[in-house]
Amino acid sequence: MITFIFITIAIITAWADYRAYKKTNLQSIKSKIALAIALIILNIQPIISIIITALSKDNTEAVMNFASWNLTIYTIATLTRMGFYIGFLTIKQKGRAIIVGSIIAAAIFAILCNSLINTRTSLVIKNVSITNNKIPESFDGFRIALFSDLHIGSLLNPEREIKALAEAINNQKPDMVLFAGDLLHIRHTEITPKIAQILSTIKAPYGVYTALGNHDTGTYIQDSISLPRNRNIAHLNTKIGQIGWTMLRDSTIYAVRERDSIAVTGIDFTDALLEYKHSLSSPDNFSADEIFASVPEEVFSIAISHLPQLWHSIAAHADLTLSGHVHATQIAVELFGKRFSPAMLMYKEWSGLYSDSGKQLYITDGIGSVGFYLRIGANPEVTILELNR
């Protein structure tokens, strides 16, 4: 997903750079060479990140920080430059073109800097009503706090940011808390004793439950000899238990209120799903029949599935599916009451609430970041889902 975005940006930028290079019409050979070299360096930044991570023995914290900062700087420099080109390449009179381009570039630069400094950590609370006749009367008004994609290793100040997140969730006083996967970015050691202590403060009367995301499985650990994937998952399971959460791996719990109950099932991120971690299509061979075999059809059923692509397979069994993974590509804008994002080009369902034949899917935009430290209009979110008959 991130690769697709950067390839698209790179192609458009290279074309615009060439047009701008021709329009500058520099007379000095030295100036032409200097400008050409500068543009080449700016355009190969993503390649540098790819080479560094490929040549590294493992995706260590230092390597991932370098790659993310490199892509962050590249994104800011590229989008700012593209803003300049909007004026520079569309206005014939060169002096006016430079002025207009510079104003647009300055505005875009300010927006991007704000997305790094403020938007990236400006948590929003979204309130969503889930209406379904199968919701028991005693669960009418039941409030679930949903969040996802923390990517602890991607946070610039994890202890401070997770503490603010925990306080925001607890202030909502939810009845239950559900996490839709990708607690980790690379490996289990991101959950330090201090971070584990902070996470353990997230509490709810009916418990805190989570399912695995693709990043939780250790699939991005290059040095799998020193830390095999199964050992990484085992360590994560242990730490999840220590902080007081419950990991649901193709398993179901029942929340009981008075004489009524609802079911919560976590979809495990098995090896069979790994090939779809960056796929835009739904797995053809995925079946949820066995996972939900013991869940009575008359019980209101909630599924936690990190991948929203699984919804159409899960919907035969679950009334409400909760997902993350997409992050709205960390780029979104709202115009005329509608949200737009590059994610729209890749996923049919990418953010918010969807309904089909009485079954519902909610995709949260997540908390952390992947690839670059920017959230452009796509704030980290905690969603309060209120169940209503």
Task: State the average pLDDT for the chain.
Answer: 92
For residue 262, the SS3 value is strand
CA distance 379 to 330: 8
Interval 233-249 mean pLDDT: 97
CA 140, chain centre distance (Å): 30
For residue 130, the SS3 value is strand
Instruction: Give which of 76, 96, 80 is closest to 88, Cα–Cα.
Output: 96
At residue 192 the predicted structure's pLDDT band, cuts being 50, 70 and 90, is very high
Q: Does position 275 have pLDDT exceeding 90, yes or no?
A: no
Q: Does position 41 have pLDDT exceeding 80, yes or no?
A: no
pTM of the model: 0.90
- Top pLDDT among 43 and 234 is at 234
The model's pLDDT over 329-355, given as tens digits with 9 standing for 90+, comes to: 999 999 888 999 999 988 899 999 999
At residue 1 the predicted structure's pLDDT band, cuts being 50, 70 and 90, is low
Residue 23: the pLDDT is 78
For residue 143, the SS3 value is strand
CA distance 66 to 108: 24
